Structure 1
């Protein structure tokens, strides 16, 4: 299992003093990525604790709704989470910080390796940013192998990498289900989709959980799990949102 995708919760238990001391390492970004403009990706948001500790990403899909991973919100109350939108530089004061009034978690979620890793947050205000469209549940071509996808987030640049304060993006191809099964015995093609390069080098990492996998201008997936960061033969595993999109739409 890729611990850098799942150990974000440990950061939520540290004290306010420790948050301040660890802020540099807590804001690390995508491996192999490049600087992204928030103006071009207004739908990308990050989740933080009330005292500003960033622990996951998310996607604005309506003016007051954010889709993220269930493992980012499990066992959390709405008051535990803030959503920051319109902020490219996490050290700046740009954008809007919203409180969360409701957290919906897929009722079947138990573990990232089982699937159903999806959550919908309702915000306390309507945001003036452009949301990202949801996929069509019947669009099988959206998940075709080798289709280029865009990943975005504020996660680490390596498993033990240094941090950057800015939003990053990268392009990775979707991986055939058969190849994902070879990499991960827990892979479930109905619930998941893989993306990455055979030789590694580009991937999501700790802090990117819940962020978007964008294909053809649609939210095709959510950063979920994997082994290592950008390691050869270990692509990133993403929630296959097309499987859950009808249920997600019912929460909007």
Structure 2
């Protein structure tokens, strides 16, 4: 989360060398960012459904979740304006600097037709891959699975985003635990920008743990299912400014339509 745009996508054209870090610059960002902040290193062996979204040259700019062998759920703001020829999905690669895993080409990009920007909701997209990924998939929340959003429920967030203020992206996948925040508390933080029907907040009142730039599109897992998509926020890991995630239950039927086509 950062700046006035508040979306958590990283600029795509970032090359990794042996010790290089991804640049934390987002389109139209006006303030310095911070990745999963306060998280711990993990692996794609532990979370095989977590995908990197990259440009054609391999520069990672978002995350995603494999929900079927050829279907990846991510954030709309990650792919609006992109073409299939310029987007790749990388699975089974724990380190951004690695060469292992599977690189998949994208044959179709779908995003919620009502999407205009992350703050106005509908921040959900589905990428269709040209070939199946050989990794375990994640179950996603059903339209009636709203119980996972109960305040205090523990969520897991994952990504390769920046890990501190003015810092670079993490070369290794990271995971953090964050509690779900009640809708009234989230509205206190974000006012009318928070749309409860489309969004859910997660984070600690004191901050310190959060998703950040480069984590956009990655998963918020609650109760063992994909319940949210990293979307936006003010700053990263700041007190009183929880992360905002797409409330996937509200878009589950639309996602299922894409998964079945």
TM band (smaller chain): over 0.9
Shift of 1:7: 6.8
Shift of 1:6: 3.0
Q: Which runs of 5+ in 2 are unaligned?
A: 25-33
Question: Who is 1:116 aligned against?
Answer: 122
CA distance in 1 between counterparts of 2:54 and 2:202 reads 26
Does 29-38 or 181-190 show the bigger shift? 29-38
* Per-residue deviation, residues 59-90 of structure 1 (Å, max 9, x unmatched): 00000100000000001111110000000011
Q: Which runs of 5+ in 1 are unaligned?
A: none
Question: Who is 2:242 aligned against?
Answer: 235
* Per-residue deviation, residues 88-142 of structure 1 (Å, max 9, x unmatched): 0111111100010000010000011110000000011111101100102112211
Change (3 A) 1:243 1:122: same
Q: Alignment length, in residue pairs? A: 247
Q: Secondary structure at the match of 2:175?
A: strand
Q: How does 1:1-252 map to 2 (within 5 A)?
A: 2-3=2-3, 6=7, 8=9, 11-12=11-12, 19=15, 23-26=20-23, 29-185=35-191, 186-252=193-259
CA distance in 1 between counterparts of 2:244 and 2:130 reads 31
CA distance in 1 between counterparts of 2:58 and 2:23 reads 10
CA distance in 2 between counterparts of 1:192 and 1:163 reads 25
CA distance in 1 between counterparts of 2:211 and 2:16 reads 24
Shift of 1:38: 1.1
Q: TM-score, normalised by structure 1?
A: 0.93
CA distance in 1 between counterparts of 2:205 and 2:147 reads 21
CA RMSD of aligned residues (A): 1.9
Aligned residues of 2:15 and 2:22 also touching (Cα < 8 A): no
CA distance in 2 between counterparts of 1:19 and 1:166 reads 15
CA distance in 2 between counterparts of 1:2 and 1:64 reads 31
Aligned residues of 1:90 and 1:166 also touching (Cα < 8 A): yes
